[in-house]
A = this chain, B = another copy of it.
Amino acid sequence: MTSFLGVLGGMGPLATADFLKKIVENTPAQVDQKHVPILLYGDCTTPDRTANIVGDGPSPLPSLLAGIRFLNQAGVKAICIPCNSAHQWFADIEATSNVPVLHIARVSVAQVKIKNPLARVVGVMSTMGTYRSGIYTNALVEMGYKVLTPSEEEFNTLVSPGIAHVKANRVSSAEAVFQKVASSLLQRGADVIILGCTEIPIGMQRQCQLTPAIYIDSTEALAKSAVDLMSG
């Protein structure tokens, strides 16, 4: 009986493809049969997470729990959700699942010390929804870090439009705006920057490769944790 990693994806679809690629890239396998079997429930019609957190958009929770139940019934070993904003509903998700659900922000925050043991100031780029949910800020402040986030104007004119660019396949347009936000956070004193929205590493791929000591890619952090869990 094959042991599958469950993936609750489609939020967004390009981020899900990027997550699957990073699972493969972080698996030391020589042949197909040694890679991680994946069962993906990718319902991209799930209502927008940020629209619900910051405004009056419909709740994504029923869709999220439908996916969690589907993956549990199918018998997956554990579940990953390559969407940071969806972790606003993590308590309900965890309560519904009989199998472990990895928490993308927790595994990303754990990377800060590994990337830069001397880091004191951590920048976080995310959706407005993730920012409001506090999942990164609370965890980082608890660990003693100073947290920097984009200004409200930067969220509105750069971060949110950049995420929308990725969701519409305009990756190079996204790169330009994300880079401005990263420069601003570095100028303000960030030692490392967490890319805490799974669309952002797609736009910042080049920067992550050029200066890997600065950026923590939440998609990759989740992929690495998943590979560890599945090979354990």
Contacts and interface: CB of A to CB of B under 8 A. Distances in A.
A168 B9 CA distance: 25
B32 A46 contact: yes
Interface in A31-70: 31-33, 35-48, 70
A41 B24 CA distance: 15
A180 to B, nearest CB: 22
Given A38-B40, A43-B37, A169-B25, A32 B20 contact: no
A10 B31 contact: no
B32 A167 contact: yes
Identical chains bound together, number: 2
A161 to B, nearest CB: 12
B43 A2 contact: yes
Contacts of A25: 169
A2 to B, nearest CB: 5
Given A11-B32, A32-B13, A41 B44 contact: no
A140 to B, nearest CB: 27
A36 B10 CA distance: 9
A20 B7 CA distance: 14
A101 B171 CA distance: 31
Contact of A45 (B2, B7, B16, B17): B2
Given A24-B169, A25-B169, A169-B24, A33 B17 contact: no
A9 B44 CA distance: 19
Interface of A: 2, 4, 7, 9-14, 16-18, 20-21, 23-25, 27, 29-33, 35-48, 70, 74, 164, 167-169
20 contacts: A4-B43, A7-B40, A9-B38, A10-B35, A10-B37, A12-B32, A13-B24, A17-B20, A18-B21, A24-B169, A29-B169, A31-B164, A32-B167, A33-B45, A33-B47, A37-B42, A37-B45, A39-B41, A40-B40, A40-B42
Given A7-B40, A12-B32, 14 more contacts: A2-B43, A4-B42, A11-B32, A13-B24, A17-B17, A17-B18, A21-B21, A24-B169, A30-B167, A33-B45, A37-B43, A38-B44, A39-B42, A70-B74
